[in-house]
């Protein structure tokens, strides 16, 4: 195996292999008397791997923020407590989140206010596939995949009979956190693991106002109902004639204003003369002293006159409204581990309750019929989730057999996911999900290695509550795949194919009330056949450099919300309308890259280009009902392209420690190439809410028992802007400075203790992510200083 390349990105150590592999490097045995089994069931696939040590530097409350230091990946940022990874401008139903290779219950693609069903304290490592991973994981990995590795099910015998880890942490702007895990042998070949975590935060502080200052600009929000909704404002305004548009005042109107009951619209004119019918002659009109030349008569005839701008709910400076959060989790697992076989199971539950920085009405106001309208009540939006997971995993390693190993995974997820108005349940989705995955790895031949497998998934979503936006749905998926790797040392090739069958079914009931819009059409059941293909080649140049090219053909079936949604989705302040006629997405991607790996210098760069057919997006209609914007799921052709580049330099300063400095840059553009006047009118030439370009610098090092990590990330002002009917507003550029210093005391006989201090957003910058749907309501958290201690026994 070739050594993995190490890069520093955004203040973090990130490792990846530049070569596509069919098997991971077998880890060293941790015991001598029993051979631990390391069954490999997936390819390395040019993936970025974030280790537990790196996670200690960068870990945040959400998976999206944790991974946002990697080039090409940003955080969706739906407030401080919910964030999903955005890979090269794609997220939600296009980025598949897995746990130990099996799909998790991820409702963030259906409703972005839900957080990922991942407990970050239990994560051992994270593998990120930045290109399409649809051959390995199906259509929902059309834009990439995130595979989170946990230790709920032990796969190796521990080096000691008993291992224990504990963490205590408190922060000035991150609340407090506690976690522990224990692993030990309970009998010969039997291992038991147990662990728990807890987190709580009352409020998130920021340097200025929660809302963007432009929310209070009368020239912007006066008659922009969409911006008013995004800013959650009540604006009292009216349209008045723009008198500065007209160069003349009508003398005829002045003379006959009362006689002919003329208005102000008749008083101003573009004509330098007027006709007097009494004598049949033309006379000059007086000039208008308020006239301002250069205005457009068709666009500037009227202007808004704003009387008042008020928040629907008063906000306080220096804090994000409704930013509380609390969560806890518990797990227990056991495994039997033999020479060439292991079998294990685990149970894990998690609970979370947090606020979204937005407000909504518990009930739509009835028509007043001319009577005084009652004061409208707005309540905070909260999210509550309770999840139970049952996990099973088994693997067998063969000797002198065409099959090298076989591995079987199962995960059952049973969860309740609620959107609340304060404590009032507005809607709830009970999810039962069953996932199974079988992987067979073939014995290595002279040049050939590979993996073949099958994956099945069943998901039943049952809804309840007065503000449901989805009917009950059932999804079934089955896929067969193979990935083969040819290695000729200086040349390597990869070929992969997958066939999926996906079924979506809606089951409306009497408690589900649909909107007046498209609302899922006839709620027709749909069946999709998907074909995924991948081909890649790499030229290794004297083990010092490489050039690679990769092609992916990927297909994705529409999700249930894209097909069947049809009601007010109050958490995103939208009347969401699905379309049961939508066809599958088809993406064709080519990526070209290269790298240089010398003794102390490492460089890499990638360029990618994707043509999307039937790209599905939630589009504005230009309509609004009460406070809800009416949107529809539509599809059009789209083009995505971008670049990523990284560099790192390593230094050994002897007694002054070992250090590494690095930098990165990324850019992505999501462009409409459809000949659609509707899309250009509603969303523009670029998709709105697109990630902005970034660059960053970092320094990581160790000296004696100290480790130091410093990262500076600069987000540029967006140049590629779309529309929300009206032109999209760019967020200002900003920089984030983070640092961590840790000291590890290894003098203890039983173990070690690490003390650390971490600083986030040390510049206390008002930072608003361009791609966040909540950017006008909530910036990123302000400065935070946290201290903690970790004990290992």
pLDDT of residue 31: 35
- Residue where the block lists tokens 């099910």: 153
Judge whether 371 lies within some domain: no
**Cα pseudo-dihedral 771, 774, 776, 778, rounded to 10:** -110
Here the CATH number for the domain that contains residue 788 is 2.40.170.20
Closest C-alpha among 242, 372, 222, 229 to residue 307 = 222
Per-residue pLDDT averaged across 134-139, rounded? Answer: 94
Tell whether the model's pLDDT for residue 136 goes beyond 90: yes
3-state secondary structure labels for all residues of 561-623: HHHHCEEEEHHHCEEEECCCCCCCEEEEEEEEEEEEECCCEEEEEEEEEEEEEEEEEEEEEEE
- For residue 270, being part of any structural domain is answered with no
Q: Which helix (H) or strand (E) holds 365?
A: none
pLDDT at 107 (0 to 100): 79
Q: Which band of pLDDT confidence, cut at 50, 70 and 90, is reported for residue 2?
A: very low
> What is the predicted pLDDT for the residue at 393?
95
pLDDT at 553 over 60: yes
666 within some domain: yes
277's CB contacts (< 8 A; 6+ apart) are: none
Mean pLDDT of 103-122: 81
Task: Give the model's pLDDT for residue 508.
Answer: 79
654: CB partners within 8 A, 6+ apart: none
Cβ-Cβ contacts under 8 Å for 268 (sequence gap 6 or more): 241, 243, 245, 246, 248, 249, 250, 288
pLDDT band with cut points at 50, 70 and 90 for residue 223:
confident
pLDDT of res. 620: 84
pLDDT digits (tens, 9 = 90+) for 737-788: 999 999 999 888 888 999 999 999 999 999 999 999 899 999 999 999 999 9
The whole-number pLDDT of residue 537 equals 96
The DSSP secondary structure of 276-313, one letter per residue, reads ETTTTEEEEPPB-TT--TT--TTTSSEEEEEEEEEESS
How far does Cα 674 stand from its chain's mean position? 25
Q: What does DSSP assign to residue 729? A: P
Pick from 272-276, 315-319, 430-434, 470-474: least confident: 272-276
Tell me the DSSP string of 638-688: EEEEEEEEEEEEEEE-GGG-EEEEEEEEEEEEEEE-S--HHHHHHT-SB-S
- Per the structure, the complete domain to which residue 603 belongs is given by 20-30+32-210+315-362+381-792
Interval 634-652: pLDDT, tens = 999 999 999 999 999 999 9
Whether residue 485 is predicted with pLDDT greater than 90 in this model: the reply is yes
Question: What's the distance, CA 664 to chain centroid?
Answer: 20
- CB atoms under 10 Å from CB of 334, counted, come to 18
**Residue position matching structure tokens 């090092």:** 701
pLDDT tops 60 at residue 589: yes
Cβ contacts of 744 within 8 Å, gap of 6 or more = 705, 707, 752, 753, 754
Q: Is the pLDDT of residue 664 over 60?
A: yes
pLDDT of residue 613: 95
The set of residues, in sequence order, having a beta carbon less than 8 Å from that of 497 and lying 6+ positions away, is 135, 481, 482, 531, 532, 533, 534
Count helices and strands in the chain by DSSP H and E runs: 9, 43
Nearest to 724 by CA among 681, 779, 692, 690: 681
Structure tokens at 9: 């990105």
In-domain check, residue 529: yes
**Residue 552 C-beta-side C-alpha neighbours within 13 Å:** 30
Asked if the structure places residue 59 within a domain, the reply is: yes
Query: pTM here?
Result: 0.86
Q: Which helix (H) or strand (E) holds 68?
A: none
Instruction: Say what the pLDDT of residue 109 is.
Output: 78
pLDDT at 682: 83
Distance CA 10, CA 494 (A): 31
DSSP structure string for 502-536: EEEEEE--TT----SS-TTTT---EEEEEEEEEEE
pLDDT at 21: 35
Question: What is the count of structural domains for the chain?
Answer: 1
Look at residue 629 and tell me if it is in a domain.
yes
Assign 18 a pLDDT band (cuts: 50, 70, 90): very low
Low-confidence winner among 116-120, 178-182, 231-235, 614-618 (lowest mean pLDDT): 116-120
Considering only 8-17, 260-269, 627-636, which range has the smallest mean pLDDT?
Answer: 8-17
Pick from 8, 37, 5: nearest CA to 21: 5
The mean of the pLDDT values for the chain is 87
The answer to whether residue 286 sits within a structural domain is: no
First to last CA, the chain: 33
Is 80 exceeded by the pLDDT of residue 7?
A: no
Residue bearing the bigger pLDDT, 601 or 117: 601
* Residue 36 clears pLDDT 50, i.e. is over it: no
What per-residue confidence (pLDDT) applies to 141? 94
The pLDDT score that the predictor gives to residue 220 is 87
Separation between Cα atoms, residue 505 and residue 44, nearest integer Å? 35
**Closest to 16 (Cα-Cα) out of 672, 664, 585:** 664
Q: Could you tell me if residue 245 is inside a domain?
A: no
**Is 428's pLDDT higher than 80?**
yes
Given a cut of 70, is residue 33 above it in pLDDT?
no
User: Could you give the residue ranges of the DSSP H alpha helices within 41-120?
Assistant: 52-58, 63-67
- Structure confidence at residue 627 (pLDDT): 63
- Residue 330 tokens read as 């518990």
DSSP code of residue 219:
H
Residue with tokens 């690679």: 548
User: How confident is the model over 271-286, as pLDDT tens digits?
Assistant: 999 888 888 888 899 9
664 bridge partner residues: 646, 696
CA angle (92, 98, 100) in 5-degree steps: 170
């Amino acid at each position: 195996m070739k050594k993995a390349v190490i890069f520093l990105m955004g203040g973090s150590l990130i490792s990846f292999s530049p070569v596509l592999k069919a098997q991971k490097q077998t880890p060293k045995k941790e015991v001598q008397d029993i051979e631990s089994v390391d069954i490999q069931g997936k390819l390395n696939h040019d993936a970025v791997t974030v280790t537990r040590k790196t996670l200690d530097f960068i870990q945040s409350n959400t998976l999206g923020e944790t991974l946002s230091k990697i080039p090409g990946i940003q955080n969706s940022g739906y407030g401080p407590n919910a964030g999903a990874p955005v890979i090269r401008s794609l997220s939600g139903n296009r980025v598949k989140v897995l746990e130990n290779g099996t799909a998790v219950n991820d409702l963030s693609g259906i409703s972005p206010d839900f957080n990922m069903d991942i407990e970050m304290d239990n994560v051992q490592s994270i593998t990120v596939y930045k290109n399409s991973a649809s051959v390995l994981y199906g259509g929902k990995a059309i834009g990439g995949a995130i595979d989170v590795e946990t230790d709920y099910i032990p796969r190796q015998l521990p080096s000691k009979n008993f291992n224990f880890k504990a963490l205590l942490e408190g922060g000035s702007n991150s609340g407090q956190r506690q976690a522990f895990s224990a692993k030990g042998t309970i009998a010969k070949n039997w291992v038991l693991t147990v662990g728990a975590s807890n987190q709580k935060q009352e409020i998130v502080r920021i340097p200025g106002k929660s809302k963007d200052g432009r929310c209070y600009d009368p020239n912007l929000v006066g008659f922009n109902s969409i911006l008013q909704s995004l800013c959650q404002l009540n604006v009292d305004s009216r349209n008045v004639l723009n008198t500065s548009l007209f160069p003349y005042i009508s003398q005829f109107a002045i003379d006959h204003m009362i006689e002919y009951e003329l208005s102000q619209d008749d008083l101003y004119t573009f004509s330098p003369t007027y006709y007097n019918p009494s004598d049949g002659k033309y006379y000059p009109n007086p000039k208008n002293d308020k006239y301002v030349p250069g205005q457009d008569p068709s666009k500037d005839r009227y202007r808004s006159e704003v009387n008042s701008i008020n928040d629907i709910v008063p906000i306080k400076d220096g804090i994000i409204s409704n930013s509380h959060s609390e969560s806890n989790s518990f797990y227990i697992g056991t495994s039997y581990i033999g020479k060439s076989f292991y079998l294990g199971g685990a149970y894990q539950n998690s609970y979370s309750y947090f606020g979204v920085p937005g407000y909504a009405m518990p009930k739509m106001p009835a028509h007043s019929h001319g009577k005084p309208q009652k004061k409208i009540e707005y309540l905070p939006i909260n999210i509550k989730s309770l999840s139970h997971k049952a996990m099973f995993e088994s693997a067998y390693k063969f000797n002198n057999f065409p099959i090298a190993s076989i591995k079987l995974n199962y995960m059952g997820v049973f969860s309740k996911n609620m959107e609340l108005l304060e404590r009032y349940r507005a809607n709830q989705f009970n999810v039962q999900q069953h996932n199974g995955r079988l992987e067979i790895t073939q014995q290595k031949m002279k040049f050939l290695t590979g993996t073949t497998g099958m994956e099945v998934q069943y998901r039943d979503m049952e809804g309840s509550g007065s503000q449901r936006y989805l009917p009950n749905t059932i999804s079934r998926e089955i896929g067969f795949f193979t990935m083969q790797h040819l290695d000729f040392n200086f040349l390597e090739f990869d070929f992969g194919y997958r066939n999926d069958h996906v079924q979506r079914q809606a089951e409306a009931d009497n408690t589900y009330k649909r909107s007046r819009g498209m609302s899922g059409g006839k709620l027709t059941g749909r069946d999709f056949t998907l074909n995924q293909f991948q081909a890649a080649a790499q030229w290794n140049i004297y083990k010092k450099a490489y050039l690679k090219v990769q092609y992916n053909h990927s297909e994705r079936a529409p999700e249930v919300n894209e097909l069947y949604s049809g009601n007010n989705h109050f958490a995103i302040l939208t009347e969401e309308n699905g379309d049961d006629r939508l066809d599958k997405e088809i993406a064709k991607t080519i990526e070209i890259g290269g790298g240089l790996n010398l003794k102390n210098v490492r460089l890499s760069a990638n360029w990618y280009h994707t043509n999307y057919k039937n790209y599905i997006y939630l589009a504005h209609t230009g309509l609004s009902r009460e406070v809800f914007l009416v949107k529809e799921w539509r599809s059009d052709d789209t083009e995505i392209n971008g670049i990523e580049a990284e560099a790192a330099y390593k230094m050994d300063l002897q007694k002054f420690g070992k250090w590494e400095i690095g930098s990165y840059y990324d850019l992505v553009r999501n462009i409409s190439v459809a000949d659609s006047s509707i899309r250009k009118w509603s969303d523009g030439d670029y998709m709105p809410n697109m990630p902005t370009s970034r660059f960053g610098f970092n320094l990581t090092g160790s000296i004696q028992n100290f480790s130091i990590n410093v990262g500076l990330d600069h987000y540029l002002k967006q140049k590629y802007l779309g529309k929300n009917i009206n032109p999209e507003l760019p967020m200002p550029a900003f920089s984030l400075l983070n640092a961590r210093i840790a000291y590890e005391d290894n003098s203890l006989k039983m173990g070690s203790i690490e003390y650390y201090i971490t600083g986030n957003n040390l510049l206390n910058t008002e930072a608003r992510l361009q791609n966040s749907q909540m950017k006008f309501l909530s910036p990123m958290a302000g400065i935070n200083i946290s201290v903690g201690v970790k004990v290992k026994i």
